[in-house]
Amino acid sequence: MPRYLLVVSLATAMLVLAAPAQAKELSSFKACGAAGCREIKSPALLRSLIKGVEAQGEPVTTRTPAPVPFFRLEFTAKGDEGSTPSFTQYYTRSPALVAMETNPDAWTWVKAGALRGLFDRVTAGVTPFAAPTIVSVKFGGKPVLDPASYSRLFSLASLTNDYPDNGDWTTIRLETAAPSPWSTGAATLEYSPGKNVLWRGTEFVKVPSALASRLEQHRSLAGATDASSFPWLALVGGLGGMAIVVPATMFFRRRHPG
C-alpha cells in the first residue's frame, strides 16, 4: 500500500470530507464528553462551525500527540437526521488539535488553528473524556507485550531527517480501553526497521537502539534506555534552531487503521 499521496489524491480526499458541508447546512452539533453532550442549535453558531470545517487545512499539520483528555464533536447535516451524526471529529484543548477523517477509514491530526476559539466556546461546560489508556498495540499486525509501555513512543524527542524514502515502514496500531481518536487511523504510528526511525505525523524521530530492538521483537518497552547512540538533540540545537527539512510530499499521506 503506497504511503504517499499525490496532490490530486489529497484534493480528492478533502472533497470527500467537505462535500456534506458544502452541499448542506448543519441541523445540529453536539460536543460530547465524559458526562454527556452539549447540543448546539443556534443558526449563527452552526454556520460558523460548518464554515470552519470547510476551511480546515491539509491532512497532516502536526505531530501525532500522546493521549490526552479530548472531546467528541458530532456534526449533523440537514436531511441526514438519524441515529448517527453525518460526520465526527475529535478535539483536544491542550495541545489544541483536531482529529479529522480525510477519507473512509483514513484519519489524521491537524492544528485547531482558527477553530480553537470556536471549539473552546462550544465545549465550554462539557467535561472532557479522560486521557485514554492504551490496552492493545499491534506492530506490523502482530500484538506486543505490555502495550501500555508503548506510550513511550510519544515522548521520544530526537528528531532526525535520516528516514527511508520508500517501502520500509511498519504500522504501529493502538487500541484504547474506550473509543477515542487514538483508536482510529489518526493514532497510527509507523516505524522504519532499517533506519530505526519513528514517523509521527509531521515528525521523524530517531529510536534509540535498545528501544528499537525491543520494538522489533514485540517486547515491552519498559526499562529500555531512551538515550540515543547519537546526540541528535544537540546537533539540532547546534544548528541554531534550523528546521529539519522534510519533503512536502511526506505529509500528503493517508492514515489507514492498520
The predicted pLDDT at position 186 comes to 67
- Asked, for residue 128, whether it belongs to a domain, the answer is no
pLDDT for res 16:
41
Question: For position 66, what pLDDT does the model report?
Answer: 93
In a domain, 77, yes or no: yes
Give the Cα-Cα-Cα angle 97, 102, 106 (nearest 5 degrees).
95
pTM of structure: 0.77
Q: Are residues 242 and 179 in the same domain?
A: yes
Are residues 147 and 226 part of one domain? Answer: yes
In a domain, 1, yes or no: no
Instruction: Kindly list the averaged pLDDT for each block of 10 residues, start to end, along the chain of length 258.
Output: 35 39 75 96 93 78 91 91 86 95 81 93 97 94 96 93 86 92 79 94 93 96 67 44 45 42
**Cell 509531521, residue located:** 202
- pLDDT of 53 reads 87
Helix ranges, 150-257 (H): 209-216, 232-238
Q: How far is CA 158 from CA 62, 148, 203, 210, 237, in A?
A: 16, 21, 10, 14, 11
94 and 156 both lie in a single domain:
no
Q: Is residue 66 part of a domain?
A: yes
